[in-house]
């Protein structure tokens, strides 16, 4: 499950350009397995680019990235590995469909991962109860508050019980109470899934101290 003992992801000599702008320059990172790891830095330093590459959402330009036992440049490995990765991109509700209800969003993502109706409904019930969204299954995602969108985005990312959870600045744009509730929720989820690795980017020093 890991690229080497105790490592869920390894980034070696990775560089990435957007036209003439260098987002990453010869980056080396090892992410330990089974732990929550923070990636701290201000806006514009390439955190989102790096997480997108590790998640398999961006094409590798230079260097190598090993995730969950194989090379992410290998299409066959990506096809096998990406279903084991949950990626919550930066931006509230970015992975949601605003016109679909809370339940419909979760059901859609469950279908994408090939879950049966029974599996989907059981997982959805568990996630909604854990996040406190269970009273709102029929509310359209576009009408949720920022904190509720954040929780639904996390539920959608976790619908398939991944081995690696990647969160890109998940608490940006939400109020302090929602931020605290989010990290309490993450702690609770990790307590029930001890083997899951979590990689989080943040610009907040107080959050980075948790990792």
77-135 confidence digits (pLDDT tens): 999 998 899 999 888 777 899 999 999 999 999 999 889 999 999 999 999 988 889 99
Contact by Cβ (8 Å): 200, 171: no
Residues 6+ apart with CB under 8 A from 147: 174, 175, 177, 178, 181, 182
Least confident of 35-39, 104-108, 160-164, 186-190: 186-190
**Non-local CB neighbours of 89 within 8 Å, separated by 6+ positions:** 48, 52, 57, 95, 168
137 part of a folded domain: yes
* CATH code, 179: 3.40.50.300
* 52-61, 86-95, 147-156, range with greatest mean pLDDT: 52-61
Please, are residues 201 and 171 in contact by the beta-carbon 8 Å criterion? no
- Segments in 70-115 forming alpha helices (H): 75-81, 102-112
Examine residue 2 and state whether it is found in any structural domain, yes or no: no
Q: What angle do CA 208, 209, 210 make, to 5 degrees?
A: 90
Q: Where in the sequence is the domain holding 183, given as residue range(s)? A: 7-208
pTM: 0.87
Under a CB-based contact definition with an 8 Å cutoff, are residues 196 and 190 in contact? yes
**Are 196 and 8 contacting, i.e. CB atoms less than 8 angstroms apart?**
no
Give residue 50's pLDDT: 97
Written as six digits, the tokens of 194 are: 């001890």
> Residue 1 has what pLDDT?
38
Decide if 174 is inside a domain.
Answer: yes
The total domain count for the chain is 1
Question: How sure is the predictor about 47, in pLDDT bands with cuts at 50, 70 and 90?
Answer: very high
Residue 1 within any structural domain of the chain: no
Domain membership of residue 24 (yes or no) is: yes
């Amino acid at each position: 499950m890991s690229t080497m003992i105790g490592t869920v992801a390894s980034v070696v000599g990775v560089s990435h350009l957007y036209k003439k702008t260098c987002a990453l320059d010869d980056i080396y990172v090892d992410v330990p397995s089974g732990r929550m790891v923070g990636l701290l830095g201000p806006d514009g330093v390439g955190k989102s680019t790096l997480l997108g590459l590790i998640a398999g959402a961006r094409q590798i330009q230079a260097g190598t990235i090993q995730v969950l036992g194989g090379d992410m440049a290998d299409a066959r490995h990506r096809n096998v590995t990406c279903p084991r990765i949950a990626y919550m991109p930066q931006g509230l509700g970015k992975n949601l469909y605003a016109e679909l209800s809370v339940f419909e969003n979760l059901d859609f993502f469950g279908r994408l991962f090939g879950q049966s109706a029974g599996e989907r409904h059981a997982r959805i019930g568990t996630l909604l109860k854990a996040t406190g969204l269970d009273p709102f299954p029929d509310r359209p995602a576009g009408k949720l508050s920022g904190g509720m969108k954040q929780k639904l985005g996390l539920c959608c990312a976790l619908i398939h019980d991944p081995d690696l959870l990647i969160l890109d600045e998940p608490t940006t744009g939400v109020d302090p109470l929602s931020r605290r509730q989010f990290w309490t929720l993450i702690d609770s989820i990790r307590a029930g899934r001890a083997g899951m690795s979590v990689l989080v980017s943040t610009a907040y020093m107080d959050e980075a101290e948790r990792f």
